[in-house]
A and B are shown apart, each in its own frame.
Chain A
Amino acid sequence: MDQGIYVITLVGTVLVLIAAFSSLIAFRFGAPLLLIFLGIGLAAGTDGLGLDFDNASAAYFVGSLALAVILFDSGFGTPISAFRSAAAPAVALATLGVVLTAGLVGLAAHFLTDFDWLQSFLLGATVASTDAAAVFFLLRVGNISVRERVRSTLEVESGSNDPIAIFLTLSLVALIATGAPLEPGKLAGEVALGFLQQMGIGLLAGIAGGYVIVRLVVRLNLDQGLIPIFVLALSLLVFALTGALGGSGFLAVYVAGLVAGNGQLRSPASIKRFQDGVTWLAQIIMFLVLGLFATPSQFAEIALPALLLGLFLIFIARPVAVTLCLLPFRFSRAETAFISWVGLRGAVSILLAITPLIDQLQGGRALFNIVFIIVLVSLMVQGWTVGPLARRLSMVVPPRLGPLNKVELELPGSAHHELLAYRVVPGSPVERGQRIPRWARPALVVRDGRSMTYQYAGRLMAGDHVYIFVPDRYPRLLDRLFASPAEMDPEDADFFGAFSVDPTRPAADIEAAYAPGLSDKEQAMTIAEFMRKRLGGRAEYGDRVTLGSIELIVRDVDEKGEIAAVGLSVDPPASPPRVPVFLSIGEAASRLWTMLKGRR
């Protein structure tokens, strides 16, 4: 028995270590990291090195806990501003989008496999949600900064759609397991009621739990080192308690993370660091376990239908669902296409595919294998192409600031101030003589190893370290003062336009200089007002307004969301990027429409 502990620990730690090492390779080659974790699990499993792990309940248990940790962290790391700007489209995607995807995939599955209707829709439900871990990883680490609204929408969607997919799957599993004859009317009522109960309780418990976490952390004088553990344990408590009360624990833990992450927590930096670490571990464990659990030698028999289903999901089901859900929200064609493409499936789908096995449903193993392959296809096809596609669809925004050298230090006892240490970099505004605003309280300057007060230091020089006390939630202004100028490569010049325009000037000036054909009413506005109007009331860094053959580009937005700098491009706008037709259902429909009209 003693030996057992050592052997299991040995195997477990070695696997985790290999996964951690492999991340180095993944960063270098841009391969989807999660695919590698999954691969390591597969390689070590039954058909590889021969680790025989076939305990469905254990796999599901571990996976669920890991998912709770991941969801809490993804809520924790979402700023409330991002959530607000993206909440409506993201929630539409997370609810209606999930149901549509599940339905469409279910429909296809019925024809491609020999599952009956319920089983087919069960299959659809398991692959209906996007994977938070995969989406976050690709959008953040892929070294591209994607347009703000698109990124927030994708992130909030991927965090919040798991609970819906989980609910759908579990309802269907329960339905199949009881084997009762179908009464569609009664069934729909029950499902709707169950949905309201689960999500209602989940939402309330999440909000309450989040507040309790914030209050407790602020009130209790816990040891610094203990706080992150305390927060993690509380989040799992919220998860478990909500589930026990008949709510959706996954929704609760995500919402709690959102509330706690945006509350005034003590030592947020160390909590965040700890969360990052735990989330990594949770992801590694989840994918390893799921990889171990799978049996690739069984894949051959269902490979073809699974592959077709995977492609159907990527090229038809997801684009249709996304296009329909985003109709009311004024997304451009390219944005819709990009959101369709970043619908990566991941661990949650595989995890959900275990549930039929636990309940020993007929065809459970085949379903699990099919889902596994769908996820592999999605991770490979979409995971590898997100970066290039983002560039092609002009979803990438050049970085706003150049490199910045900053350390945040935590102050003992004070919840409302932070100490920031900046290194003055050459070319930054402070180095060129800009003063630091008074509210920032520059306390100390260290130059050539000697410390002096800010008042005596005079003009800051490159290489100085400046220590600044700031109230919580300091504005980005400070970062801007200390950042080196953003590198403008020629493509950026194309992106932002060669010329600059003063947004406070009247739009009539534009008409006078370039005659793009503005109406009298538009000419009476300032350029900033005019652009805001054309952009639908909200301007965002990198937004473009095309006027005949010139384009106005938002170069900067200030803290209040007002347009602060505008670029003017005289390059004839490139023909809109071509999107594969299947990705853009709207375009396909309009082409079909013109074709039909042409016939008549």
Chain B
Amino acid sequence: MDLSDLIEVEAVVPALKANSKKQVLQLLSEKAAAVTGLSEREIFDTILQRERLGSTGVGNGIAIPHGKLPGIKEIKGVFARLDHPVEFDALDDLPVDLVFLLLAPEGAGADHLKALSRIARVLRDGDTTAKIRGTKDATAIHTFLSQAPASNAA
């Protein structure tokens, strides 16, 4: 259950400041554009379109916005730890402070879903999220994401 192949240290934002769901998505799109070299507008539109289908807030303060882009070459992630939780219309109505944005190529199909499932499992682990919430260091967060236990690999 290793996420290191999905995300690089440069793609971790350790202390994002945002006031709304929209702003979180905007700032993350900006970061993703920097990492992938794609247009920020295109990324933002894609994930916003997915949010309309239903919030990607999965509960316990975690959200996993995602979408498919024609221009991207491989599956790429961007992670942000928010300084202050924001409302995200999550399932349990709790505000969100950990956000993993995942972008996949148009034809990624099953790999895209497998990556999503892995991220959801890693972030479901209470120890991992507690450790991430307790630090403001990008390298440390990246390490926690990479070393998350593979225990509940069902």
Contact = CB atoms under 8 A, between A and B. Distances in A.
A509 B117 contact: no
B53 A513 contact: yes
B97 to A, nearest CB: 17
A512 B49 contact: yes
B66 to A, nearest CB: 8
A472 interface: no
A433 B64 CA distance: 29
B68 interface: yes
Contact of B67 (A490, A513, A549, A570): A513
Interface stretch (A14-22, A178-186, A382-390, A495-503): A495-503
Interface residues of A, number: 26
B56 interface: yes
Contact of B54 (A485, A505, A515, A574): A505
A509 B50 CA distance: 8
A434 to B, nearest CB: 12
Given A494-B154, A568-B54, A500 B109 contact: no
A500 B57 CA distance: 8
A493 B53 contact: no
A570 B118 CA distance: 9
Interface in B43-60: 49-50, 52-56, 58-59
A120 B116 CA distance: 59
Interface string A125-152: 0000000000000000000000000000
Contacts of B112: 514
A509 B52 contact: yes
Nearest to B126: A490
B91 A572 contact: no
A115 B123 CA distance: 65
A485 to B, nearest CB: 8
A490 B152 contact: yes
Contact of A501 (B54, B67, B117): B54
A571 interface: yes
A505 B51 CA distance: 11
Contact of B116 (A494, A509, A510, A570): A570
A411 to B, nearest CB: 37
B53 A571 contact: no
A570 B109 CA distance: 11
Given A498-B120, A571-B117, A513 B68 contact: yes
Task: Tell which of B50, B52, B67, B113 has the most Cβ of chain A within 10 Å.
Answer: B113
Nearest to A510: B53
A549 B110 contact: yes
Interface residues of B, number: 25
A501 B120 CA distance: 16
A550 interface: yes
Nearest to B115: A570
B52 A570 contact: no
A512 B67 CA distance: 9
Contacts of A574: 154
A501 B124 contact: no
Contact of B110 (A485, A494, A572): A572
A61 B124 CA distance: 59
A514 B113 contact: yes
Interface in A543-589: 548-550, 566, 568, 570-572, 574
Given A490-B152, A505-B54, A570 B49 contact: no
B53 A515 contact: no
Contacts of B116: 498, 570
Contacts of A572: 110, 113-114, 117
A494 B154 CA distance: 9
A524 interface: no
Contacts of A505: 52-54
B152 A502 contact: no
A454 B55 CA distance: 35
Nearest to A569: B117
B138 to A, nearest CB: 25
A535 interface: no
A216 to B, nearest CB: 50
Interface string B84-122: 000000011000000000000000011011101100100
A148 B83 CA distance: 45
Contacts of B120: 493, 498, 570
A488 interface: yes
Given A512-B49, A515-B109, A499 B117 contact: no
Contact of A550 (B50, B58, B113, B154): B113
Contacts of A500: 54-55, 91
Which 6 A-B residue pairings sit nearest by Cβ, starting from the closest?
A501-B54, A498-B120, A570-B113, A570-B116, A509-B53, A500-B54
Given A490-B152, A501-B54, 12 more contacts: A488-B92, A494-B154, A498-B64, A500-B91, A512-B49, A513-B50, A515-B109, A549-B109, A550-B113, A568-B54, A570-B116, A570-B120
Interface of B: 49-50, 52-56, 58-59, 64, 67-68, 91-92, 109-110, 112-114, 116-117, 120, 124, 152, 154
20 contacts: A493-B58, A498-B64, A498-B116, A499-B54, A500-B54, A501-B53, A501-B54, A510-B53, A512-B49, A514-B112, A514-B113, A515-B109, A548-B109, A549-B113, A550-B113, A566-B54, A571-B117, A572-B113, A572-B117, A574-B154
Interface of A: 485, 488, 490, 493-494, 498-502, 505, 509-510, 512-515, 548-550, 566, 568, 570-572, 574
